[in-house]
Amino acid sequence: MAKSETEQLNVNPSAENLAAAARAAGRRGPPPVHLWNPPFCGDLDMEIRRDGTWFYLGTPIGRHALVKLFSSIIRKDGEDYFLVTPVEKVGIRVVDAPFVAVDADVTGRGRDQRITFTTSVEDVVTAGPEHPIRVERDPETGEPAPYVLVRRNLEALIDRKTFYRLVERGAHEDRDGTRWFGLWSDGTFFPVIPSADLA
């Protein structure tokens, strides 16, 4: 019989401590995880899947409030992800990006366009110089994987339905001698794919 989330979190005191510390830190606004330098306390059996689902001990964390709480204390150091409080730092696994952008609000047109993303954990960011969009393409299939920077070096994978809706608002621009199809937001053009590859 599967254990409840509360029972699972109680199996590992570190997870319980993390949740309590995140609640305390969040009372005064976004926790300043970039300023904290606690000792590394080992890895936690926690994973964020590509679709944004959080797992603990192999079971999905179904409580959105708990996921949002943990997402507020995530940090990326190098290529590794951690949950960080003032007193401890534990490693977690992230399959792709720690967040997923599940919606976008578009205002304006052309160079005056602004794209504001909402993530599954309710971060809201407007793409622009401080929150750039980048697109990786699978070398074998050519399938795009678009991302937007949410905070510091933490990105959100833009989900498929949102990305393809944005493509309808794309434009062609010349960049460094190459014609690109891409997206304008907050005065910045973000290349998505060479125009020639759309032919």
Instruction: Report pLDDT digits (tens) over 162-174.
Output: 999 999 999 999 9
pTM score of the predicted model: 0.86
Confidence of residue 5 (pLDDT cuts 50, 70, 90): very low
Q: How far is CA 6 from each of CA 16, 57, 88, rounded to the nearest angstrom?
A: 9, 12, 20
CA dist 88 and 95 (Å) reads: 23
31-54 exposure pattern, b = at least 16 Cβ within 10 A, e = fewer:
bebeebeeeebeebebbbeeebeb
Please give the mean pLDDT across all residues of the chain: 89
Q: How far is CA 44 from each of CA 38, 61, 89, 166, rounded to the nearest angstrom?
A: 16, 14, 10, 36
Q: What is the pLDDT of residue 199?
A: 66
Paired strand residues for 156: 99, 148
Burial class (CB in 10 A: 0-12, 13-18, 19+), 65: exposed
Confidence of residue 14 (pLDDT cuts 50, 70, 90): low
Residue 129: is its pLDDT beyond 60? yes
* Number of neighbouring beta carbons within 10 Å of residue 183: 23
